[in-house]
Amino acid sequence: MSHRTITRRDFLKVASAAPLAGALAPVLARPAAPESKVRVVLVRHEAALDPSGAPQAEVIQAMLDDAVRALIGDKDIVKAWKTLIRPDDTVGIKTNVWGKLSTTAEVEQAIKRRVMDAGVPEDRLSVDDRGVLRNPVFQKATALINARPARTHQWSGMGSCIKNYIMFTPQPSAWHGDTCADLAGIWNLPEVKGKTRLNVLVMLSPLFHMIGTQQYNKDFTWAYKGLIVSRDPVAADATGLRILEARRREHFQDDGLLKPTPHHIQLADTRHHLGVSDPARIELVKLGWSEGLLI
């Protein structure tokens, strides 16, 4: 081992500053926070889901538009998207089809519509998850949009934007070591490196706890009715993680920490330099419905 490992004792030494084992990794590994911040937009709408929990397409479109406007800083939504996507791009929208909690067709369609508004014809645009390596559009993609729901995960701690690219690897299990510590390494593969223009972490009805082999129980989801949007997947995930932990604290009346620790999010920052995980370096823009915000 080339460097000293982080142990429980390290956490205990700084426990009064930050009691989270996972969240401590950047504190331990990095000196003072740099000056620049990355922007993350959290947008929520009370009507994003109907009473049965079904996403409402028009509301979702409006939420995504508001988030992208705020992220880019342009009131014209098409102009804003044109700063993300060029008309000559070939665009893969990496979704997530997990049956119990998917990205949702409404989010996929909202993204697709704006990519086309930016000038990309439909034949140079594809939405896919498990078939990305065989999909001709993804094989030629010059730009990727990454969209998936936030949920707890029995091995990686949290399934979110960083983890969503595991289907770009021919053998996903090769990235499972140390409970998926180095997932961010996937983002250096030629299929994806430097191509991601936008990350959408779907927080419509996040899963904040899991039990059993099936990993899902509706009782452990809640209607948060939000989207987290950022160019930085690590900042998006770190923000989503704070919300999941806050919900867990509220529900379980404990420290709210995920098990296993989703340390791949911090390591994506401190080890792989994919993005920013430290909340102090994230400019969080909050839009819309504020009830039960949790952050």
67 close to 45: Cβ distance less than 8 angstroms: no
Residue 33 CB coordination number (10 Å)? 13
| Cβ 47 to other proteins shortest distance, Å | 25
E strand or H helix at 146: strand 143-153
Candidate residues 2, 7, 36, 290; the one interacting with other proteins per rule CB under 8 A: 7
Stretch that binds other proteins, among 115-123, 131-139, 165-173, 189-197 (CB under 8 A): 165-173
| Cβ 110 to other proteins shortest distance, Å | 26
Q: Which is nearer to other proteins, 22 or 275 (CB)?
A: 22
263 close to 241: Cβ distance less than 8 angstroms: no
Q: Which amino acid is at 157?
A: G
Can residue 154 be called a binding residue for other proteins (CB under 8 A)? yes
CB environment 153-172: b (16+ within 10 A), e (fewer): beebbbbbbbbbbbbbbeeb
Structure tokens at 167: 């289907």
How far CA 179 is from CA of 55, 61, 82, 215, 254, in Å, comes to 32, 35, 38, 16, 23
Candidate residues 153, 247, 272, 281; the one interacting with other proteins per rule CB under 8 A: 153
CB environment 72-97: b (16+ within 10 A), e (fewer): beeeebeebbbebbeeebbbbbbbbe
Can residue 247 be called a binding residue for other proteins (CB under 8 A)? no
Can residue 142 be called a binding residue for other proteins (CB under 8 A)? no
Q: Which is nearer to other proteins, 257 or 287 (CB)?
A: 257
Candidate residues 2, 213, 253, 290; the one interacting with other proteins per rule CB under 8 A: 213
Stretch that binds other proteins, among 47-55, 85-93, 260-268, 274-282 (CB under 8 A): 260-268
State the residues that interact with other proteins by CB under 8 A: 1, 4-9, 11-13, 15, 21, 98, 153-156, 166, 172-173, 176, 178-181, 211-215, 217-220, 259-261, 263
